[in-house]
Structure 1
Amino acid sequence: MKQKISKIFNIGLPLLLGVFLIYYAYQQFTAQQIHEIGVQFKNADYKYIYLASFFSVLSLWARAYRWKYALRFMGYDSGTFTNFMALSVGYLMNLTVPRSGEISRALVLQKYKKVPFDKIFGTIISERIIDLFCLLLCVFTALILQYDILKEFLLNYVPVKKLFGLGVFLVLTIIAFTLIFKFSRWKAVVYVKNKIKGLTEGVQSIFRMPYRTGFLFFTLLIWGGYIATFYFGTFALAETSALTFPVVMSAFVAGSFAISFTNGGIGAFPLIISELLLFYGVSTVSGTAFGWILWTTQTAIIVILGVFSLLFLPLISSKSAR
Structure 2
Amino acid sequence: MNPKLIKILKIVLPLLLGVFLIWYFLSSATPEYRTQLLQNIKNADPLWITASLILGIISHLSRAYRWKFLLNPLGYTIKFHNSFMAIMIGYLANLGVPRSGEVLRGITTSTYEKIPFEKAFGTIVSERITDLIMLIIITSTAGILQTEYLLNFLEEKNINPLFTLGAILGLIFIGLLGLKILQKSSNKWIVKIKDFGMGLLDGMKSIFSMKQKWAFLFHTILIWFLYVLMFYVIKFAVPNLHDASIGIILVAFVVGSFSMSTTNGGIGILPFPIVVGAVFVFFGYAKSDGEAFGWILWGSQTAINIVVGALSFLFLPILNRSKIK
Provide the residue aligned with 1:13 in structure 2: 13
Superposed counterparts of 1:38-117, under 5 Å: 38-117=38-117
1:138 aligns with: 138
- The answer to which of 20-29 and 135-144 deviates more is 20-29
Structure 1 residues 296-315: Cα deviation after superposition (integer angstroms, max 9, x where no partner): 00000100110010000011
What does residue 287 of structure 1 align with?
290
Identity %: 41
* Alignment counterpart, residue 298 of structure 1, candidates 297, 301, 312: 301
SS state of the match for residue 144, structure 2? helix
* Cα distance in 2 between the residues matched to 1:24 and 1:308: 34
Alpha-carbon distance, 1:259 to partner? 1.0
Give the TM-score, by structure 1 length.
0.93
Matching of residues 1-322 of structure 1 within 5 Å: 2-154=2-154, 167=168, 170-171=171-172, 173-266=174-267, 268-318=271-321
Using the TM superposition, give the Cα deviation of residue 136 of structure 1 relative to its aligned residue in structure 2, in angstroms: 0.3
Of the structure 1 ranges 144-153 and 75-84, higher mean CA displacement relative to structure 2 is found in 144-153
Q: Deviations 1:72-114 (Å, cap 9, x if unpaired)?
A: 2211111221100000000000000000000011111111111
SS in 2 for 1:16: helix
The question of whether the paired residues in 1 share the 8 Å contact of 2:122 and 2:204 is answered with yes
Aligned-pair distance for 1:13?
3.0
Distance 1:157 1:302 in 2: 36
Indicate if the aligned counterparts of 1:70 and 1:209 stay in contact, CA closer than 8 A: yes
Does the Cα contact within 8 Å between 2:112 and 2:323 map onto a contact in 1? Answer: no
Give the Cα separation in 1 of the matches to 2:221 and 2:176: 33
Going from structure 1 to structure 2, the CA distance change for 1:260 and 1:116 (only over 3 Å counts) comes to same
Structure 1 residue 137 displacement after superposition? 0.3
Output the CA distance in 2 between the equivalents of 1:259 and 1:2: 29
Q: What is the Cα deviation at residue 318 of structure 1?
A: 1.1
> How far apart, in 2, do the equivalents of 1:291 and 1:47 lie?
17
Question: What is the rounded CA distance, in whole Å, between the counterparts of 2:98 and 2:108 in structure 1?
Answer: 18
Report the number of matched residues: 322
Please, what is the CA RMSD of the aligned residues? 2.1
Q: Cα deviations across residues 277-296 of structure 1 (Å, max 9, x unaligned)?
A: 11222100111111001100
Deviates more, 1:19-28 or 1:88-97: 19-28
Give the Cα separation in 1 of the matches to 2:95 and 2:290.
23
CA drift of 1:172 comes to 5.5
Q: TM-score, normalised by structure 2?
A: 0.92
The unaligned stretches of length 5 or more in structure 1 are none
- 5+ residue gaps in structure 2? none
